[in-house]
Copies of this chain bind each other. A is one copy, B any other.
Amino acid sequence: MAIPVETFFLRPGGQGTLQARIQQMVAEGILSGRFRRGERLPSTRGLARHLGVSRITVTLAYTELVASDYLASRGRSGYFVSENAPEPPEFSPTPRDERVNWDQAIGRRFSSSETIIARPPDWADYRYPFIYGQADPQLFDHANWRLCAMQALGARDFHALAQDHYDRDDPELVDFIARQTLPRRGIVARPEEILVTMGAQNALWLTAQVLLTRQRRAAIEDPCYPALRALLNQTRCRLAPMPVDASGLPPERVPERTDVIFTTPSHQCPTSATMPLDRREALLARARALDALIVEDDYEFEMAYLKPPVPALKSLDADGRVIYVGSFSKSLFPGLRLGYLVGSEPFIREARALRASMLRHPPGHIQRTAAYFLSLGHYDSLVRRIGRALTARRSEMEHAIARHGLDLAGLGAHGGSSVWMRAPSGTDTARLGEALRAQSVLIEPGAPFFVGADRSAAYYRLGYSSIPSERIDAGIARIAEALAPAPDGG
């Protein structure tokens, strides 16, 4: 590869002759790891013109660098970084003399409050990855996705998709969501009531920013998705945790003076509980009585492979108080970063303006590729294929859990991709998780999901969206073994 001439700069106020400064610049590039062995340097003529120096100065500098074996000359082909050039220890340029007091300069901190349940980046190398929310490459329809991407990258679409669309979305994707995706949940919405987002995370974040302030109260399920708690904390609103039961959120637990209720009725996160229809209606009535809004996070509704899902809260919402969050992360793949918000027009207008200010819009090609994939029916077949695979895995999970005597604490009524587990009281599942890692088993300790730490340590979640069916039994066996009391009673 050729090193572009534009990367060469003579620093103003440098010391020494021009020739020496050029030599130093090249040597520094090599020693800092920016220029690598075998890469071609600009021609002497080109570099001289770029730097505004005479060509002979550059030639002399290069000749010196050849003599010191930083460079090698290959006749008419020009100058290259020598194969014997010194290797940098690693890519670490000289540190600056930092003079900023960052503790003071940073106005708001986000790093401490964020609790991401981060799986190890190399999770796919584990033999028993009971993790949640990653894509299974065996199930995804990669070939058709690639064809749809090619179509969206074709000359006809390219020009339109390459432009800045300010606050607008791809009308084809919005149309598909309105006509095909939402009706599956019984939801009817106009395009003005839909906003495409960078995944469900982004949808929740926008919602929180628009609805909440220091003076408002948000009620959240306990346990809940930890990243939701973190993003609500960013608004500095008052947070009221509501303990859930085996049917999800009990409506009577929603406290007085609540402004916004965050709930996951399809599969409560993380317990997997499914809220029955009568409770959904009671929750809507409770919200109406409080004049509160409901944010319904329906993050994996497509995973209803055992029986048809209960209608979404939003589909039962007669007075416009439900804001619905959908995601393509579970049915397509999470690295796509594509989801959507559905709500009344005044709300969507504000969320759209905020999105425009923070990032404009999700990339055009991504939106169009998804629109093609969905409208060509690949999405439907994919959801069915995932459903078949998860049916088998879920049955294997249930059998293995029973066979090895583990304690199941929660299970989605219509499907889902994880189960909620209870370890013997006194177990610290964070430590359990660490111990299991050494045996190539990944589990998700329960503590980060809870607001209070007291009753949480014994729970854990097992995802089965990324583990092949035939490994489930052996993986569960290892968990049971790790949980068994030591034989000598110690």
Contact = CB atoms under 8 A, between A and B. Distances in A.
A114 B353 contact: yes
Contacts of A231: 357-358
Interface in A147-189: 149-150, 153-155, 158-159, 161-168, 178-180, 183-184, 186, 188-189
Interface in A367-398: 375, 377, 380
Contacts of A234: 357
Interface string A82-125: 00000000011110111110110111111101101010010010
A201 interface: yes
Interface residues of A, number: 130
A161 B121 CA distance: 12
A159 B235 CA distance: 35
A438 interface: no
A347 interface: yes
Nearest to A182: B7
Contact of A162 (B50, B211, B336, B344): B336
Number of copies: 2
Contacts of A33: 179
Contact of A350 (B9, B110, B321, B380): B110
Contacts of A316: 12
Interface of A: 1-2, 4, 6-7, 9, 11-12, 29, 32-34, 50, 91-94, 96-100, 102-103, 105-111, 113-114, 116, 118, 121, 124, 133-135, 137, 140, 142, 145-146, 149-150, 153-155, 158-159, 161-168, 178-180, 183-184, 186, 188-191, 198-199, 201-202, 205, 209-213, 215-216, 227, 230-231, 234-235, 259, 277, 281, 288, 291, 293, 308, 311, 315-321, 329, 333-337, 344, 346-347, 349-350, 352-354, 356-366, 375, 377, 380
